[in-house]
Amino acid sequence: MANFFKPSKKQVKNQTQELSIQSMDHHGRGVAKSNGKVVFVNGSLTGERVLARISADKKSYAEAQCIKVLEPSAARVTPPCQHYQQCGGCNLQHLELQAQLDAKQQAVGALFAKFTGQSELPWQRSIESQPWHYRRSARISIFHDKNRGLQVGFRQQGSKQIVNIEHCPVLEQGFAEVFAFFRAQINQHPALRSLSHLQLVATDEKHYLVIRHTKAIADKVQQLVADAAKEHDWSLVWQHSAEQRLPAASYQIKQGDLSLQFGLDNFIQVNAEVNEQMLTQAMQWLNLGADEQVLDLFCGVGNFSLLAAQQAKRVVGVEGVASAVDYAQLNAQANALDNCQFHCFDLTEPLAQASWFDKNLDVLLLDPSRMGAEAILAQLPLKQFKRVLYVSCDPVTLARDSKTILAAGFTLNKLGIMNMFPHTGHIETMALFTRG
């Protein structure tokens, strides 16, 4: 058998190339071409010429890291975060804010063209928030390494290593001192070396810290930490196992004068300002009539359902996480809405097993996870719906699922970017499909 030369991984990773960046993809990476192969370049921008180091060379594409900008874009700015070059939390701080929105819209447009064949899209005004201190929820990793010492921060880009963070400019300001505080507390109390991560959740009234630890920690030590945390007005919750039920918190929706409870382990949108605008836009686009009946799939704790119930005849919410369904039911009762029904159901399962579905539901609302709604859309009799509102956190699955919705006789009526995560490549999108 003939032997062919294959460069070692070390050789591949040491290769450098000068590349011209033609566009940006939906992850915020620059896109170039070299010898007929697409190269995705982290840290580069459209229109730039860069020197890039190849990190992975696949059959049909390559991945690279920008190591020097030879010809910069006019939209390039200096990242304000001191940890930007190491931390994997943000990847677009080097791009001016409006240009971030433009790049995200262009990336979504390219995906729609690829999956649906549509290039002329009904773009609406983007939803924006304050660009800094917008995150009300985040997860901080903690690890004590014999060689590197104590690390409290976020994962390094493309690595399991933790970057020690001093300050994070996208975190809600009430958590500004959390990194320094826990480094000091762990160094002071050796028992705290069993901490694995912190879950931060900010509400209108409180700043919660869920402290996950792998070994029991004495009450005395917990109390000492809690006493020290009073200075920062944090509410500490100690979690020893994943099965432990966490306390409830709540957030407000101003538009409908609603209060929603959720468990500290339940999903909520991390950007409160964008969430409020997103809900307002959703209700404006849907323009629900008093005789309409809404099916809200992937409904969570009722983020969209309760507002819809204030306008529509009936709302049926479906969610796969049982604890979220419990809170959705509680939220409907607490807000005096008796036209809501909530069901726990795995939306990848056959629809034939769904007792909650009926032919009277005529408006469809979808807010799935990154995997999208392919499984349920393939089963739903889509032609019974007059309108479909799709809220997406992954533009690839949105474009893919849009092809299914369009094939059922719908027209894409409105499309808009929601900048839920400024300075990152994450893209949130809202799409309205109407029949006719």
Q: Which residues are catalytic?
A: 393
Who contacts 49 (Cβ-Cβ below 8 Å, separation ≥6)? 18, 19, 20, 21, 69, 70, 71
Residue pair 21/44 in contact (Cβ under 8 Å)? The answer is yes
Burial group, residue 53, by CB count within 10 angstroms (0-12, 13-18, 19+): middle
Tokens 């849009």, residue located: 402
Who contacts 105 (Cβ-Cβ below 8 Å, separation ≥6)? 123, 126, 417
Kind and range of the H or E run holding 377 = helix 374-377
Query: Residue 128, Cα to own-chain centre: how many angstroms?
Result: 15
User: 17: helix, coil or strand?
Assistant: strand
For 349, which DSSP code?
S
Residue pair 52/41 in contact (Cβ under 8 Å)? The answer is yes
Kind and range of the H or E run holding 151 = strand 149-155
422: left (phi over 0), alpha (psi -120 to 50) or beta: beta
Amino acid identity of 293?
Answer: Q
The first and second tokens of residue 414, run together, are: 């409105």
The first and second tokens of residue 433, run together, are: 């499909």
User: 250: helix, coil or strand?
Assistant: strand
Work out whether strand 195-202 and strand 137-145 pair parallel, antiparallel, or are unpaired: antiparallel
